[in-house]
Structure 1
Amino acid sequence: MIIGINAAAAIKQPRTGVEEYTYQLIKHLTMLPEAREHRFILFVPLDTNKANIANNYANTANKNLPQPLLKEGSRSLPLELAPYLIRGRAGEDLFGFPLPANFVIKELRWPLPFLWTQIRLAWEMLVRPPEVLFIPVHILPFFHPKNSVVTIHGLEYEYFPEYYPWLHRTYLRWSTKYALKHARKIIAVSENTKQDLIKLYGGDTSKIEVVHHGIINPPQPSFKKEGVEKDSSLFKGRLGGIFKEGEREVRRPYLLYIGRIETKKNIEGILEAYKILKEKYQIPHQLVLAGAPGYGIKNIKNQISKIKNKEDIIFTGFISEDTKWQLLKGADIFLFPSFYEGFGLPVLEAQATGVPVVTSFNSSLPEIAGEGVLFVNPKNPTQIAEAVKKIIDDQNLRDKLIQSGYENVKRFSWEKCARETLLRITNKYEYTDSS
């Protein structure tokens, strides 16, 4: 089978939620033995502002393209072997990992930074459709094979429309409904997302299936949690702040949040809970907020300026994968009282590193987090603060949460995600003409 994948999100930098999902899914598809019987075309935008990666490999692409890609059974795929079709070693330059022979990259030229999916990819689907198209990030192009599979990650914009610009919200609503109507199969990343699609949009339950995200194994720590002084510096002189107040050290003990610094993630609630913890309980902990600024950052800055212990609040800005894991491994408690999550991967990452978690009892989080967390009402900062204090004071509770977290993450892996996704892409396949 010839499977096309919209891989645009996988090459974006920096990678956040849906970008990481697309990247890890493609990476682990390349590792599956059962994927070898299929041919994959990874569609990506051609970056006209940078050197075209295909130019370095055009000759090898034309000479070495495997013939099964051009003909599968009785059906031919009329691919034009332009310099934009590249394979093999070029994949490592573009994606960061090598591509096996049954994976090729096709770069689609487009002069604008927007509408690539709905115009350029749609045109490709009209004139040169693969047998099945997989869309990892919910926007199905106008023209597409009838055998299209789309992943939908969540419907936050329906529950908290005030956090989305009108045009963006309208486009998300339309594109999700369009995918729900026209795709052969919908993959929801959680049972909660599936139920939201059915409840809010009247989705056909028979075409919506749940495939959870995976999680990578955390790298080995560069330090031991035991035997390290509470005030030892982990990141001296290496973390900047969005306030540009000069360099400050992240010191133990600290509370940690990782994600976009924006209103819908309930950063204001975290700050209010931290204020209570400092003023009422005098905890020694810093608060580290790691992530890029987003919607509502001005209000968040204003709130911080009024906190008495604001010098103990550290913003890192966007962090690398290495820094993320290092921060997690040094954290005392991970805070994630979000208002809504389609999946909630940061909770699993904290559990995988042996960090107790305080998170919300809403959306997909109870489904994903299991028993290795303390659940709170995200709209109640006092409850968030009390949950944190309980973990600080009760070593038995801490140990129980850590062990339960380790057990919970065993349910998730990117290999499992890739295998189950491939089954949804190929299951009960019957070829039909493109729409």
Structure 2
Amino acid sequence: SFTVFTTIFNRELLRQPPAHVEVQTLPLAGYESELGRAARARQIDVLFCGHPFERDLGFPLEKQIILITDLQHEAFPEFFPAEIRHARQRAFASALTHAGAVGTISEHARESLRRHPDCRCQDIFLMPPALVPAEDASQLTETERALIPAGDFFLYPANLWPHKNHERTLAAFARFLARSGRACELVLTGHPAGWPELQQRWPRLPVRHLGHVRPVLLQSLLRQARALLFFSLFEGFGMPLLEAFAAGTPVLCSNTTSLPEVAGDAALTADPLDPAAMAGLMERIVHDPGLARTLAERGRQRLARYSWEQSARELHDAFCRVAGRPLSHQPATPQELPSLPFEHAPVTSRQSLLRRLARRIPGARWLAGRWRGKPASAVCGYQPDNWLLAECVFRVPPSVGRTLYLEGMPALSGELLIESGSVQQRHELTEGEKVRLELEAAAGQELRLRFSRHLPGPVPRAFLLEATNLFSEADLAPASAQR
């Protein structure tokens, strides 16, 4: 049997788990403490963690399998603020020294982990990612269809992080335009933080940044692009390559880190530090339709190397290996730390929580729980212990494309009033009774929730969230967050 510990943001991924899988939602506040406590209470044999934790969970590391996707902070320490770099170094060193097993996603990543000076782990296995089924292009909205260029274009889907190498990619694109004389655009997607500054340095280039887009739009862009550009300086894997292979789109990428391993003979590669070489690949792909067709066919064949079934088998086998090994020593009884409500925690604890959120989500914003007037951010009235306050305001994303919902339990019986523009919805809630509410709201509008009753105390807690897609973790991190 399996227990999956989630937050409110990924709970929906296991909406209907199999009978042998139980799901428990944990709060963001004190997540590590709650995770360790829950694992001990359920007498978990082996705990899989999707990232090394800096803090001791109070659960034996010898009985943990930890996923480490890359060691980018070692290869490019200058790309990380000192605090984040040092935190990663401590957490990764501890995992590589004491973990029962370490999973990773490419042979390049596995070899770099084995070469790490703190590595004592003898069980480092591969569990690479794979694709999920493509969405139906008919689900595109008219607004989304209008974003797809009518003429030729290259596509680069990546946040504007330093290792994604956008500056040199734009320099290469400028060289390509000058040398080829062709009319062509470059389309960027991902978080737009940093784009205005980058655009100012290349004001005449035909480049458009679409920001975050839905998977169905990204798939449509890939299918119509002349090629995927992916001249990154560092990758633990490179999922856009698989997405391009599935779309039948040629790939032009870097010849470094994991990308040659994933691409094989299905891509053209170049030194990501050499804009002239990168521009040369762009010229080759637009001038040689036969080469484009050959790469597309090789890409489709290469997809067979990656499947979730195979990675699941590798992880299952690792669970069995770690479960079968005896502990080298009996762990000490962990000290139970109280999980204080966020606003009652010491200031240092609150700052620590915000820093942890900032590490995980780049370029996003934080707004404290109580609502006073018009919100300055996308979320107002949510507490990191998963409570909604008596009055909340959420800004609906500009492109919704999905049903919005809240799932959880009210603290007390009463009425919930939901307002969006001129539309009002009323729901009667029963104390302790789980409910799933589907919300009506237009893209870009504010959605206001008013609970008629809440728990007594200085913080008016009204509804304990278990799952939602109304906002994301990106809406909770400080504006100054950097990767």
Q: Decide: shared fold, TM above 0.5.
A: yes
Which residue of structure 1 lines up, in the alignment, with residue 371 of structure 2?
A: none
Q: Which of 269, 282, 289 pairs up with 2:181? A: 282
Q: Distance in 2 between matches of 1:271 and 1:108?
A: 42
Letter matched to residue 307 of structure 1: W
Unaligned runs of 5+ in 2: 333-483
Please tell me whether the aligned partners of residues 100 and 322 of structure 2 are also in contact (alpha carbons under 8 angstroms): no
Give distance in 2, aligned partners of 1:276 and 1:46.
46
Structure 1 residues 371 and 248, CA gap change in structure 2 (3 angstroms) = closer
Which structure 1 residue ranges, 5 or more long, are not aligned? Answer: 1-38, 48-90, 224-233, 240-246
Pairing 1:45-60 to 2, within 5 Å after superposition: 45=7
For residues 252 and 423 of structure 1, do their structure 2 counterparts lie closer, same or farther at Cα, with a shift above 3 Å needed? farther
Higher strand proportion = 2
Opposite residue 69 of structure 2, the aligned amino acid is: H
Rate the CA distance shift 1:171–1:199 in 2: closer, same or farther, 3 A: same
State the alpha-carbon separation in 2 of the partners of residues 109 and 222 from structure 1: 37
- Report deviation, 1:184: 0.6
CA separation of 1:171 and 1:308: change in aligned 2, threshold 3 A: closer
- The match for 2:3 is 41
Aligned partners of 1:140, 1:304: CA distance in 2, in Å?
Answer: 37
1:104 aligns with: 22
* C-alpha spacing 1:127/1:248, structure 2 compared with 1 (3 Å): closer
Deviation readout 1:133-157 (Å, 9 max, x if unpaired): 0112233751224321111100111
Map 1:116-127; keep pairs closer than 5 Å.
116-117=31-32, 119-127=33-41
Change (3 A) 1:129 1:166: farther
Q: Render the CA deviation track for 1:255-293: whole Å, top value 9, x for unaligned.
A: 001121222101111111111122222221111001113
Separation in structure 2 between the aligned mates of residue 333 and residue 235 of structure 1, nearest angstrom: 24
Q: Distance in 1 between matches of 2:121 and 2:19?
A: 37
- 1:195 is aligned to 2:111: yes
Report Cα offsets for 1:161-182 as digits up to 9, x if no partner.
1211111111111111111112
1:72-118 deviation per Cα after TM superposition (whole angstroms, max 9, x unaligned): xxxxxxxxxxxxxxxxxxx9x722641011111122345x3xx522x
Task: Work out whether residues 351 and 406 of structure 1, in 8 Å CA contact, stay in contact via their aligned partners in 2.
Answer: yes
CA gap 1:354/1:97 in 2 versus in 1, 3 angstroms: farther
Separation (CA, whole Å) in 2 of partners of 1:258 and 1:275: 18
* Bigger Rg over Cα: 2
Q: 1:345: Cα distance to partner? A: 0.9
Structure with the higher fraction of residues in helix conformation: 1
Look up the match of 2:229. Answer: 335
Indicate yes or no: 2:303 matched with 1:409.
Answer: yes
Secondary structure at 1:238's aligned position in 2?
helix
Give yes or no for contact 1:253–1:286 (8 Å, CA) kept in 2: yes
CA RMSD of aligned residues (A): 2.6
| 1:338-371 CA distance string (max 9 Å, x none) | 0000011111111111110111111111111111
Q: Distance in 1 between matches of 2:293 and 2:25?
A: 50
Percent sequence identity is 25
TM-score of the pair, normalised by structure 2: 0.63
Residue equivalent to 1:314: 208
Matching residue's letter, 1:43? F
Structure 2 equivalent of residue 244 of structure 1: none
Q: Give yes or no for contact 1:343–1:365 (8 Å, CA) kept in 2.
A: yes
- 1:178 maps to what in 2? 94
How far did 1:218 drift? 3.1
Q: Secondary structure at the match of 2:53?
A: coil
Q: 1: distance between equivalents of 2:208 and 2:229?
A: 14
Quote the Cα distance in structure 2 between the aligned partners of 1:126 and 1:428.
17
Q: Structure 1 residues 109, 278: CA separation in 2 closer, same or farther (over 3 Å shift)?
A: closer
Residues 1:101 and 1:140: Cα distance change in structure 2 (over 3 Å): farther
The Cα offsets for residues 26-57 of structure 1, whole Å up to 9 and x where unpaired, read as: xxxxxxxxxxxxx111112468xxxxxxxxxx
